[in-house]
Structure 1
Amino acid sequence: MGRRSDHSRVELEELILSTGSAVMAETGLAGFSAREVARRIGYSIGTIHHVFGTADRLIAAINTRSFADWAASLRERLDAAGPDGDRIAALVAGYFGFAREHPHRWTAIFDHRLPADGGLTEADETGRGLLTQIVVEEIARAAGGEVDDDIATLSRSLIATVHGHCAFAISGAWALMGEAAPEAAALARVREALAARSAR
């Protein structure tokens, strides 16, 4: 396919990212193809390499977009819960909800590995940190304290706990073990950890 110049670089980057996210949602990481993204937008594969450098960098950017969408969905659930609602339950439901609604995009976040010489950009790090920051702020709120190193460490541990439950649920492993309510189990573990901290 010949070169085109219908879009500015900023417009082209957004077109590639939005189309790439759609392809990832359909195929998952295993079936993802930068060439398919190029075909859908009507540009050459060289254009994608010109904008993102490599297919790995494109996938990293798509995953950062997924993190942003995931963080936005968490905020929506927290807004719906309101200041006096069960915000911890909203967090856990938001974690599971995005994974269930976008299983290929969610799985790609954790399955993709950049090569050793191609780490995340500063923009990627910032975008991916939004979700963790939301959790840290909510855990601090639930614990009745300020955000500090202790709260940040606890929050990361709770993310790992919920993630494990969620990953098993998405893969079907929970069902094989006879667990019918992995989300409820994850929420229970989070509440137990918060109660243990309060009792110290």
Structure 2
Amino acid sequence: MLIVEGHKHMADVGFSRFSAREVAKRIGYSIGTLYNVMGNYDQLIIAINTRTFVLWTDYMREALAASGEDRVRCLVEGYFGFARANRNAWTAIYDHHLPPDMGLPEEHDLIRGRLTDLVVEEVEKVLPADLRAKAPRLARSLVATVHGHCVFDINGSFALMGEREPVEMALARVRESLAAVQAED
């Protein structure tokens, strides 16, 4: 209940206007009770952002299940689609920074990693068998490429540059990268 309501609040107002007090109020807790349950503010945000990853992974799985043969296009379009539909929750993932002495709890890292695992699986499918060992590293690089394009789309930078097709641009970079890896063989 706490995480679901926290996620709703994050989706409504974004990270910069997020209030743990508001979440506590919405569920009928005191702020002290909320922190007794969650540990601290960072643990609350970690849990909310992990929920975003779960929803994002589900979104991508559903998109892939409904996709045609061009699953690479589906991944790129799905990345942008989720970010656009969940702008505040999506950007909160990248706006929250843990203190230097605090790491992401392992259970959250594993849950969040399912999204990357999904991308790795799809990249493996398009690579020849002898290149599949490169899939994990390549997938992370491709995610970074798409992410950069997506951030510029979400924050309006591409619009200011006159770019009207950021999804197609990101897809072209992904296809070029996949072709380059296959040409190395």
Scaled by the length of structure 1, the TM-score of the pair is 0.88
Distance 2:172 2:132 in 1: 23
In structure 2, what is the equivalent of residue 168 of structure 1? 152
1:181 correspondence with 2:165: yes
Correspondence for 2:89: 105
- Give the TM-score of the pair, scaled to structure 2: 0.95
- Report the AA paired with residue 108 of structure 1: A
Runs of 4+ displaced beyond 4 Å = none
2:123 is aligned to 139
CA distance in 2, matches of 1:38, 1:44: 6
SS of 1:117's equivalent? coil
1:90 to 68, 74, 92: 74
1:28-67 → structure 2 map (5 Å cutoff):
28-67=14-53
Residues 38, 45 of structure 1: 8 Å contact kept: yes
CA offsets per residue over residues 141-196 of structure 1, 9 Å max, x none?
Answer: 01133752x21111111111000000000000001111100000000111111112
CA distance in 1 between counterparts of 2:98 and 2:144 reads 21
DSSP 3-state at the match of 2:99: coil
- The separation in 2 between residues aligned to 1:120 and 1:159, in whole angstroms, is 20
- Which position in structure 1 is the counterpart of 2:54? 68
The structure having more radius of gyration, on CA atoms, is 1
In structure 1, the gaps of 5 or more residues are: 1-14
Kindly provide the CA deviation profile for residues 40-72 of structure 1, in whole angstroms up to 9, marking residues without a partner as x: 001111121111111111001100110111011
* Aligned-residue RMSD, C-alpha: 1.1
Q: Is the 8 A contact 1:136 1:147 kept in 2?
A: no
138-147 vs 27-36, greater mean Cα deviation: 138-147
What residue identity is the alignment partner of 2:103?
G
* Pair 1:126 & 2:137 matched: no
Q: How many equivalent residue pairs?
A: 183
Give ranges in structure 2 of 5+ residues lacking alignment: none
**1:5-41 alpha-carbon deviations (Å, 9 max, x no partner):** xxxxxxxxxx000000000001100000110000000
| CA–CA distance in structure 1, aligned partners of residues 148 and 41 of structure 2 | 28
Higher helix share: 2
